[in-house]
Amino acid sequence: MAAVHAALRALKEKIDGGPAPSTIRRIRTKLKLSQREAGSLFKVGENAFDKYERGLIEPSGPTIQLMTLLETSRTARRIAVAAQVAYFTAPVANGD
């Protein structure tokens, strides 16, 4: 049953253009992000990439577009890496 499900996902990826869970994982690892880091960077929540990669939910249109851009554009990847470094190294406001 899992093989049939994977084949249907791959077919849907070709027809609809939405990435299959394996494609999402490949893009995330290409960007050298953990699932939590990717969720924070894409502003979709800490557990979203876990759910995307298991096929439980599909990413939104803008998230798919951004993933595609980061996969295909070296310049976009450099900007994302710089943003990631800035995001994860920025001082946290105390809130007092």
Is the residue at 94 inside a domain? no
Long-range CB contacts for residues 16-20, cutoff 8 Å, separation at least 24? 17/64, 18/58, 18/59, 18/64, 19/59, 19/64, 19/67, 19/68, 20/55
In a domain, 64, yes or no: yes
Domain assignment of residue 96, yes or no? no
Of residues 76 and 45, the one with the higher pLDDT is: 45
Average model confidence (pLDDT) across the chain = 82
Q: Which DSSP symbol is given to 43?
A: T
Q: Are 35 and 49 in contact (CB under 8 A)?
A: yes
Taking residues 51-78, report their average pLDDT. Answer: 89
Record the pTM.
0.70
Whether residue 56 is predicted with pLDDT greater than 60 in this model: the reply is yes
Domain harbouring 14, CATH code: 1.10.260.40
For residue 85, the model assigns a pLDDT of 63
Span 58-75, average pLDDT = 88
